[in-house]
């Protein structure tokens, strides 16, 4: 690994100053992606700006309308938070699948997002839950829907000198539920061949008032399956309509053949995992599990 400066700011303002001062500096959160990349690819990095002591991005705030999760909050902390497990189940499940307990104690939510891997396990759940990304940089603060944050594998909408500050997720209405499934060869310490998240809200008559489906590892970036969502709006939930949504989602996906799985197998997995995620989301919506009151 090449030599680099290690900088340890204690506030967001100081971190942004350091990033402006060293144009080739990178933010360092848990280092579970970045340090591996630096070792393996000998990626030259002039300086690392550690986010460890940037207190503003280590906070979790929960109110009637939204939950705000600081970018540096650890995956393990969020996955174990009962409010997240109840109201934002797809996110808690996705973060709870990352690596191992040791990895989840180091890995941050923001790092999982900013690494911009198509297979990041937190992201489909976040997309299904309608998340906003809050970014800070030399020009001030801006927010964008998370689905526009991902540009290409390993590339996000972050501009030089910018940091992901937090993500904001609206509180799901009553009679809502969400879930995430992934397929891997090993239960742990493996990367998703396919990930599928679903979120459902039911109306008073038990029909689907709103539904979101998001997929990982089947396109250059994590994606919403917008056409599949359309068949769900206004429908009575059940096996047939969920299976149909899965088939449409598989047609929308753009998977590749690689060493881990063929594109055809990934499409098949999209059908199965989407249906299962919808079934689990429905069960939570019916039992009132997803509201988080
Ligand atoms: C053994 C092992 C198993 C793993 N298993 C999984 C798995 O099952 N599922 C999965 O999804 N991932 C997995 N990962 C990947 C990794 O743990 C996650 O992506 C993790 O969440 C990254 O967070 P971090 O804090 O370590 O990020 P870092 O490595 O510190 O940073 C990652 C990238 O994001 C940037 N960054 C970090 N924070 C910010 C910020 N606030 N603003 C701007 N840029 C930022 C960094 O500059 C870097 O480019 C695994 C990794 C290992 C080593």
Report the alpha-carbon distance of residue 138 to residue 40 in Å, rounded: 31
Q: Alpha helix (H) ranges present in 75-225? A: 75-79, 82-87, 89-96, 101-106, 109-114, 123-128
Buried b (16+ CB within 10 A) or exposed e, 122-134: bbbbbbbbbbbbb
Work out whether strand 176-183 and strand 140-145 pair parallel, antiparallel, or are unpaired.
unpaired
Q: What is the pLDDT of residues 227-264, one digit of tens each?
A: 999 999 999 999 999 999 999 999 999 999 998 899 99
In a 3-state reduction of DSSP, which class is residue 70? strand
Report the alpha-carbon distance of residue 222 to residue 94 in Å, rounded: 13
The pLDDT value recorded for residue 186 is 80
Instruction: Compute the distance from residue 32 Cα to the ligand 1 centre, in Å.
Output: 5
Instruction: Compute the distance from residue 20 Cα to the ligand 1 centre, in Å.
Output: 22
Gyration radius of the chain's alpha carbons: 19
The pLDDT value recorded for residue 248 is 98
The CB-side HSE value for 219 (13 A sphere, CA atoms) comes to 20
Measured from the Cα of 32, ligand 1's closest atom is: 26
CA 97 to chain centre: 12
Work out whether strand 163-170 and strand 176-183 pair parallel, antiparallel, or are unpaired.
unpaired
Report the alpha-carbon distance of residue 203 to residue 16 in Å, rounded: 45
Residue nearest to atom 32 of ligand 1 (CA): 111
Task: Report helix angle 263-286 to 239-252, nearest 10.
Answer: 140
The pLDDT value recorded for residue 293 is 43
Measured from the Cα of 100, ligand 1's closest atom is: 3
Residue position matching structure tokens 């959160």: 29
Residue nearest to atom 18 of ligand 1 (CA): 112
Kindly state the DSSP code that residue 33 receives in the 8-state scheme: T
Substitution candidate for ligand 1 out of 103, 111, 121 with most atoms within 8 A of CB: 111
Instruction: Compute the distance from residue 100 Cα to the ligand 1 centre, in Å.
Output: 13
57: its two tokens: 């991005």
Task: Report helix angle 263-286 to 89-96, nearest 10.
Answer: 130
Measured from the Cα of 26, ligand 1's closest atom is: 47
Report the alpha-carbon distance of residue 213 to residue 127 in Å, rounded: 8
Residue nearest to atom 4 of ligand 1 (CA): 99
Ligand 1 pocket, Cβ-based, cut-off 6 angstroms: 26-34, 36, 51, 71, 75, 97-99, 103, 106-108, 110-112, 114-115, 120-121, 158, 163-164, 189
Report the alpha-carbon distance of residue 84 to residue 96 in Å, rounded: 11
Instruction: Compute the distance from residue 111 Cα to the ligand 1 centre, in Å.
Output: 4
Q: Is the dihedral of CA 21, 27, 31, 37 positive or negative?
A: negative
The pLDDT value recorded for residue 41 is 76
Report the alpha-carbon distance of residue 96 to residue 217 in Å, rounded: 18
In a 3-state reduction of DSSP, which class is residue 197? strand
What is the layout of strands, in order, in the sheet containing 194-202? 176-183, 194-202, 208-216, 223-224
The pLDDT value recorded for residue 42 is 67
Work out whether strand 155-156 and strand 163-170 pair parallel, antiparallel, or are unpaired.
unpaired
Buried b (16+ CB within 10 A) or exposed e, 145-155: ebbebbeeeee
User: Do residues 172 and 87 touch, judged by C-beta distance below 8 A?
Assistant: yes
Residues of the chain with confidence (pLDDT) below 70: 42-43, 289-293
């Amino acid at each position: 690994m090449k030599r680099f400066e290690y900088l340890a700011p204690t506030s967001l303002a100081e971190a942004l100053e350091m990033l402006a001062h060293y144009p080739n500096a990178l933010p360092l959160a848990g280092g579970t992606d970045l340090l591996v990349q630096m070792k393996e690819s000998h990626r030259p990095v002039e300086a690392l700006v550690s986010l460890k002591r940037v207190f503003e991005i280590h906070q979790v705030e929960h109110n009637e309308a939204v939950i705000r999760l600081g970018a540096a909050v650890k995956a393990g902390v969020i996955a174990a938070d009962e409010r997240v497990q109840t109201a934002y189940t797809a996110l808690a499940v996705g973060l709870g699948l990352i690596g191992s307990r040791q990895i989840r104690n180091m890995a941050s939510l923001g790092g999982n997002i900013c690494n911009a891997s198509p297979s990041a396990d937190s992201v489909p759940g976040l997309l299904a839950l309608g998340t906003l990304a809050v970014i800070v940089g030399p020009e001030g603060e801006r927010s964008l829907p998370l689905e526009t944050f991902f540009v290409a594998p390993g590339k996000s909408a972050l501009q030089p000198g910018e940091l992901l500050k937090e993500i904001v997720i609206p509180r799901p209405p009553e009679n809502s539920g969400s879930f995430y499934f992934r397929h891997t060869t090993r239960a742990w310490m493996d990367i998703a061949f396919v990930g599928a998240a679903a979120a459902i809200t039911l109306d008073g008559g038990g029909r689907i008032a709103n539904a979101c489906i998001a997929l990982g590892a089947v396109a250059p970036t994590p994606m919403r399956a917008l056409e599949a969502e359309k068949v769900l709006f206004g429908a009575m939930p059940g096996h047939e309509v969920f299976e149909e949504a899965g088939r449409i989602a598989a047609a929308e996906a753009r998977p590749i053949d690689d060493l881990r799985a063929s594109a055809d197998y990934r499409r098949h997995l999209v059908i199965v995992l989407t249906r299962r995620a919808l079934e689990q989301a429905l069960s939570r919506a019916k039992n009132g599990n997803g509201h988080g009151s």
